[in-house]
Amino acid sequence: MAWHKNEHVMLMDKNKPKMPVAPGGGGGGDMSLTQRRHVPLYGRLVAEDTLGLPHMTNSSSTDIQAMQARIPPTFRDSSLAPLRKLSVDLIKTYKHINEVYYAKKKRRAAQIQGEDTSHKKERKIYNDGYDDDNHDYIVKNGEKFLERYEIDSLIGKGSFGQVVKAFDHVEQCHVAIKIIKNKKPFLNQAQIEVKLLEMMNRADVENKYYIVKLKRHFMWRNHLCLVFELLSYNLYDLLRNTNFRGVSLNLTRKFAQQLCTALLFLSTPELNIIHCDLKPENILLCNPKRSAIKIVDFGSSCQLGQRIYQYIQSRFYRSPEVLLGIPYDLAIDMWSLGCILVEMHTGEPLFSGANEIDQMNKIVEVLGMPPKHLLDQANKTRKFFEKLPGERRYILKKSKDGKKYKIPGTRRLHDILGVETGGPGGRRAGEVGHSMSDYLKFKDLILRMLEYDPKSRITPYYALQHNFFKRTSDESTNTANSTSSSPAVASIDMSLANSGSQHGLNLGGRLKEISEKNYLSSAYPSSMECDPSASASRRFHPQRFQSSVLNHGPASLQYVPYPTNRMESTPPKHPHSQSQNGPQNSKSDDQEDSPMVCVQQSPVVIH
């Protein structure tokens, strides 16, 4: 029966009218297109090839051979036919597919790994070839922005974009340019940062409050660019260069006073700015041989009452109210500062949690349990604590990973600082400026900065009046009547402060809430302006902030950010070194106050 069907197919083909073949052979076909639909070409030719009937005419045989020549060779081999591959040889087919797939994947991985960085940067993907696939600008050394800023090198990258070092041919100095990603969300956030930086610029025209300044900003090939002054090491770099053994208490004091002054500046009613990401990496030395610093990276910052984000602050420096989901305000920066100051002196983070639960447990180890009223109002209390049934108190939840913690409050700050044992690890025993009295003052200030309740936490204004700063102020001025706790508030009229309290205001300067972001900035003709000693003649204008003083109390009063005479009279000196004011005393107890002493182990004059 099968033979008759095949013969029937052959006879149908033989009896159909032939169409002329084009010159050169090639088998143009002998059926119309409509006729071909009834008998598929492939089936017809295979049948003809298989039967090989002897009674076929020469012309018909030639025609069929020509068309058979057009069939791929693999189709002629029955072992390679698709039907066989998908039935009898199905497993073999799948194995072959796997081999091809993984071989191709391996080649691709090797190719990508073999490409160097410069080659990948040259790939043109987005923004007419100026951006890479992450929407970052493709930086090329030697390129000029606006025919002014010549790109020198890449400083670093982040989620916002990247920062490059460039030379400003107009001002003849190096600058740092922050190039924002070419994406709408990043552009919008950077515009908020620019707004806040410009607010700070207007409020600090004399550059004396330890906040980096925005020189200018511009658009370049669809990227917002922010131009800053080029600063030096950050405080984490400084710690790393001490092998994480920490800097002296005297240098820690200098950093603390500048940072408290900066926070006091940010808390003025004209600004009300929360940094939201204060940490050693965001505090930079102005000069590697001086102790003057600046706060940078306002990319997460916001204004009071305009909070946008709940997940803020780096974990080690994250305040309890942020961990617990309580509305936050300017006090979160004071918490971060307390953590930073301990780390700068000990060399290690005070609370180094691996996650938020671990972070809260490490805080409780040192400070004990948070007050009940905070836990009652917090949204995330159940994440860390559980309420005992039938009782009105909370306990920590047991760790799911089985990690053991000390009893709340038993890892004392007293022991961490080494108050009675010569400093952290006993490394400061016998050093001038590291007495038990000095450590007790330092510990007291830190504990006030680390109050659980943000309303009870010390404010920048009162922090600057703390006894921890009296020693430096008194010794640096070398005067018997130097009773001001802090040079930053030396010029405050306390009668005005008292009048402020009569209005029922919090003299600590507590403010409300904040949110919106900022960014790094800088605008100085020279690095000398970054140094507090360069501000010897700087004072507030008599009428500056007068209305704020009357209406808001000491938090908004005029103040000198850093004691001109303190920085000039307390630095360690060589036996033969001289300052601008003449001969200096020989090296004293705080030679290590020079950051570069830690880095280079070479004595330098600190201002």
Q: Which amino acid is at 274?
A: I
pLDDT for 33 equals: 45
Q: How far apart are the C-alpha atoms of 109 and 235, rounded to whole Å? A: 39
Mean predicted confidence (pLDDT) in 585-592: 41
Give the range with max mean pLDDT: 49-58, 446-455, 590-599.
446-455
Each residue's pLDDT tens digit, 275-306: 999 999 999 999 999 999 999 999 999 999 88
From residue 457, give the alpha-carbon distance in Å to each of 262, 283, 515: 17, 22, 20
Mean predicted confidence (pLDDT) in 143-169: 95
Q: How far apart are the C-alpha atoms of 494 and 500, rounded to whole Å? A: 9
Burial of 261 (0-12, 13-18, 19+ CB in 10 A): buried
pLDDT for 94 equals: 85
The two tokens of residue 264 are 């006091």
From residue 418, give the alpha-carbon distance in Å to each of 289, 398, 439, 585: 28, 30, 8, 30
Residue 168 has φ and ψ, to the nearest 5°, of -85, 110
Give the range with max mean pLDDT: 36-50, 113-127, 330-344.
330-344
Is-contact 563 535, C-beta < 8 A?
no
Each residue's pLDDT tens digit, 358-369: 999 999 999 999
pLDDT for 460 equals: 98
Name the band, by pLDDT with cuts 50, 70 and 90, for residue 103.
confident
- Please give the annotated binding residues for ATP, written as ranges: 178
Q: Which of 228, 211, 255, 210 is nearest to 156 (CA)?
A: 228
Q: Which of 258, 418, 436, 421 is nearest to 345 (CA)?
A: 418
The more confident residue out of 572 and 214 is 214
Mean predicted confidence (pLDDT) in 107-134: 70
Q: Which amino acid is at 571?
A: P
Residue 303 is given by DSSP the state E
Distance from chain centroid for Cα 344: 20
The more confident residue out of 247 and 70 is 247
Q: Is 187 helix (H, G, I), strand (E, B) or coil?
A: helix
Question: Catalytic: 297?
Answer: no
H-type alpha helices, 204-286: 235-240, 249-266
Mean predicted confidence (pLDDT) in 491-501: 33
Name the band, by pLDDT with cuts 50, 70 and 90, for residue 526.
very low
pLDDT for 367 equals: 98
Q: How far apart are the C-alpha atoms of 452 and 457, rounded to whole Å? A: 7
pLDDT averaged over every residue in the chain? 75
Whether the CA torsion 305, 311, 314, 315 is positive or negative: it is positive
Mean predicted confidence (pLDDT) in 560-571: 31
pLDDT for 540 equals: 33
Whether pLDDT at 386 is above 60: yes
The more confident residue out of 515 and 544 is 544
3-state secondary structure 418-453: CCCCCCHHHCCCCCCCCCHHHHHHHHHHHHHHCCCC
Q: How far apart are the C-alpha atoms of 86 and 88, rounded to whole Å? A: 7
Q: Is 317 helix (H, G, I), strand (E, B) or coil?
A: helix
Q: Which of 60, 65, 61 is nearest to 26 (CA)?
A: 65
Q: How far apart are the C-alpha atoms of 164 and 174, rounded to whole Å? A: 10
The two tokens of residue 12 are 């149908």
The two tokens of residue 559 are 């103040």
pLDDT for 39 equals: 46
Question: What percent of the chain shows pLDDT beyond 90?
Answer: 52
Each residue's pLDDT tens digit, 238-260: 999 999 999 999 999 999 999 99
Give the range with max mean pLDDT: 194-198, 337-341, 487-491, 603-607.
337-341
Mean predicted confidence (pLDDT) in 3-13: 53
Name the band, by pLDDT with cuts 50, 70 and 90, for residue 62.
confident
Angle at 414 between CA 408 and CA 416, to 5 degrees: 85
From residue 133, give the alpha-carbon distance in Å to each of 40, 161, 183, 214: 49, 12, 11, 29
Q: Inter-axis angle of helices 331-346 and 436-449, to 10 degrees?
A: 150
The more confident residue out of 349 and 121 is 349
Whether pLDDT at 223 is above 90: yes
Whether pLDDT at 69 is above 90: no
Is-contact 328 513, C-beta < 8 A?
yes
Edge-first strand order for the sheet with 173-180 is 144-145, 149-158, 161-168, 173-180, 223-229, 214-220
Mean predicted confidence (pLDDT) in 380-393: 92
3-state secondary structure 208-223: CCCECCEEEEEEECCE
The two tokens of residue 159 are 């989620």
Each residue's pLDDT tens digit, 436-475: 999 999 999 999 999 999 999 999 999 999 999 985 444 4
Q: Is 154 helix (H, G, I), strand (E, B) or coil?
A: strand
Please measure the distance between the N-terminal and C-terminal CA atoms of the chain and give it in whole angstroms.
Answer: 109
Is-contact 532 292, C-beta < 8 A?
yes
Whether pLDDT at 579 is above 50: no
Q: Which of 314, 338, 202, 204 is nearest to 260 (CA)?
A: 338
Name the band, by pLDDT with cuts 50, 70 and 90, for residue 99.
confident
pLDDT for 308 equals: 77
pLDDT for 333 equals: 99
Residue carrying the six token digits 């330092």: 442
Mean predicted confidence (pLDDT) in 170-180: 97
224-255: burial string, b at 16+ Cβ within 10 Å, e else:
bbbbbbbbbbbbbbbbebbeeebbbbbbbbbb
The more confident residue out of 447 and 91 is 447
Mean predicted confidence (pLDDT) in 518-543: 34
Active-site residue identified among 277, 297, 329, 438: 277
Name the band, by pLDDT with cuts 50, 70 and 90, for residue 602.
very low
Whether pLDDT at 506 is above 60: no
Each residue's pLDDT tens digit, 301-358: 999 988 878 889 999 999 999 999 999 999 999 999 999 999 999 999 999 999 999 9
- Please give the annotated binding residues, written as ranges: 178
